[in-house]
Structures are given as C-alpha cells and as structure tokens.
Amino acid sequence: MSDTNPNSEDKKTSDNNETGNDSESRYEFITAFIDDEIKDPQEKKKAEDLINSNNDFYNRYLSEKYIKEKLRSSIPQIETPVYLYKNIGEQIDQYIKKSTIPEPAIPDSMIQANDLSKSHLKRNLIYASFAFVALILFSLFLNSYFKNNPDFQENDLVAVSRKVYDRVIDGKTELHFKSGDPKQLSDTMNKYLDFKVFIPDVKDATLIGGDCEEINGEMIAHFVHKKGNIIIYTLQADKQEVLNNLDKIILQDNFKENVKSGKNWFPCSKEPHKTAVIWFKDNVICSSVADMEPKEISVVLSNYK
C-alpha cells in the first residue's frame, strides 16, 4: 500500500462522528496493520480502506509508521522475551480492572465518560509499555556498544593502561621500585602479587623501574622502558583473571577471542601519541603503550638479549 493519501481534503466520511471508543478501536486496528499482525486478506483490505478514507486515521498511520521505522533502524533487532509481553498485558488488564467502579444505575453520560477514561488509560498504558520495551532495547544496545568500544569502560585493560601511561608521562605516577635489572625487579614485584611478573630483558631499550598497584579490586604490575626519549609503559595482569573477570579488569570480547585463539602482539585502536598493543606471555597479559607505531612497540619488547 502506498503511503500517499489518494483522498483530497474535502473527502469526509461518517468516521468523523465516531465515539471515542470506536476511534481507539480503529487506532489499535491501524497499529496491528502496521505491525503486520493482521493475516486475513479481507481484514487487511479493511485497514487500508479505513486509512485511505479518513485524514485523521491516515495521519495516525503515517506518524506511527515513521516512529516505528526510526526505532527499528536505530536499535539492533533483539527478540523481546515472550514473558515480557505477557507480564505487560497482565499488568494492563489488572490496572483496568482496578479502575472499574461498579455503580448501579449510573447515567449514560457518566458511563460514556468512564468508558472514554478507561480507553484513554489503556492507550496511555500501551504507550508506556512501548516506552518500557524501547528502554530495554536501548539498554541492550548500549551494553553491546560498550563491549565493542572499550575506551568507554573505565575498567577495560587498554583504557586503564592508557590512563596510567598519561600519569607516567605527566610525572604524576612514581615508580617505587627503581631497577634496570629485569630479574631483580620482577623478584621484588612478585612479593606483592598473586602471579609471576614477566619483564622482558630487551636490547634496544633501557628498563627504568616498576610498581605494583590495586586497580578496581585487581592487583596489577607496571613497568617502564625507555628508548631514547620515548617512554614505553606496560601494564601487566594475571591472564586468567582478566579473561574470566566481568567486573574488575576486563578485556574487550574481540581481544579476548584473539588471546584465547593464540593471537599475540596485536594493536588496539590508535590514539594520537598513545598507541596500545596487547600481548601475553605464560600466565600474564599486558597492554603496552607508547608514542610509537604498534609494530615498533612489539619489535622493541620482543627483541630479547
């Protein structure tokens, strides 16, 4: 059916004299038509005739169709659980029953007013239900978005490493263990950790020192290398803890799959002067950050003596 109204402004029908109940019923009929809930061809034809014969219903059809199409295009299609529809329907029915006031010999005018009020109430509850479902879908969308954009999650391994790197560059983080000997530094740091630190003994950079710190309930290690004037900062944590954690130090799902499949030394999204590379060795996982290309970082830290 075309969205263009074939009727002129002066085409009027007896629908203009409908009661409030009739209008609401037909609005719901239009909603069902838009949602493709009407399967009977004759009923579909009735819906089309209703929309094409009355400007009010036609405008209602256009506006509701537009809103639903915008919602579908902006939010991922996620199957709403059946129980949610059932619970919403039950709540609407219960609310309407409680709103019914059984009074004998009520004047017709009051009965009509009560019916109209109930109709409006039901319509508002339906709209509220749509808003509630949209809110759930939006929450699922945000959750999916955050998972694929770890920089928005403060406890993501890469996001944490970049923040600490900024503090190191600004001189706001002190390395309590000053040592250029990887074994000596790792032995010192292991006293404060539940995992064994791996500090590479590299050829083309100098080890400055390291530190241990608890971040978001997870003990992690820091150490810093320097190549010329460039700082290479590495955050290191227990690999299994990071892979299994959902609320401490976490890892983006795609990166987690890379690690589980054995892929190593892969870059994260690059930021100006703040490139991060994820790598792992034995029982530890690391995020190294420097003002270098990703390949340069991996070459420096994997070029052992």
Number of domains in the chain: 2
Per-residue model confidence (pLDDT) at position 28: 81
Residues 55 and 83 in one domain: yes
Distance of CA 142 to the CA centre of its chain: 2
For residue 224, list its beta bridge partners: 209, 233
Evaluate whether residue 263 is within a structural domain. Answer: yes
State the amino acid at position 95 in one-letter form: Y
Tell how strand 275-281 and strand 266-267 pair up: antiparallel
DSSP H or E segment with residue 231: strand 230-238
Backbone phi, psi, residue 212, to 5°: -120, 145
Per-residue model confidence (pLDDT) at position 229: 94
Residues 155 and 298 in one domain: yes
Distance of alpha carbon 161 from alpha carbon 234, whole angstroms: 7
How many residues are there in the chain?
Answer: 305
Per-residue model confidence (pLDDT) at position 7: 46
Evaluate whether residue 7 is within a structural domain. Answer: no
Final residue belonging to a domain, choices 148, 172, 187: 148
Residues 47 and 106 in one domain: yes
Distance of alpha carbon 78 from alpha carbon 63, whole angstroms: 23
Per-residue model confidence (pLDDT) at position 6: 45
Q: Is the dihedral of CA 151, 157, 161, 163 positive or negative?
A: positive
Taking the C-alpha atoms of 198, 203, 209 and 211 in order, what is their torsion angle to the nearest 10 degrees? Answer: -20
Orientation of helix 82-99 relative to helix 108-148, angle to 10°: 150
Final residue belonging to a domain, choices 92, 124, 148: 148
Distance of alpha carbon 165 from alpha carbon 272, whole angstroms: 13
Tokens of 244: 């299994």
State the amino acid at position 121 in one-letter form: L
Residue partners of 215: CB distance under 8 A and separation at least 6:
155, 160, 249
Per-residue model confidence (pLDDT) at position 264: 95
Evaluate whether residue 218 is within a structural domain. Answer: yes
Per-residue model confidence (pLDDT) at position 290: 95
Identify the DSSP state of 152: G
CATH number of domain containing 241: 3.30.200.100
Residues 179 and 295 in one domain: yes
User: Are 254 and 266 contacting, i.e. CB atoms less than 8 angstroms apart?
Assistant: no
pTM of the full predicted structure? 0.53
Evaluate whether residue 5 is within a structural domain. Answer: no
For residue 287, list its beta bridge partners: 235, 278
CA geometry: angle 161, 167, 169, nearest 5 deg: 100
Distance of alpha carbon 265 from alpha carbon 18, whole angstroms: 71
* Tens of pLDDT, residues 8-22: 444 444 444 444 456
Evaluate whether residue 8 is within a structural domain. Answer: no
Residues 276 and 154 in one domain: yes
Per-residue model confidence (pLDDT) at position 299: 95
Final residue belonging to a domain, choices 126, 148, 170: 148
Residues of the chain where predicted confidence (pLDDT) is lower than 50: 2, 4-20, 103, 145-152
Parent domain of 20: 14-148
DSSP H or E segment with residue 157: helix 157-169
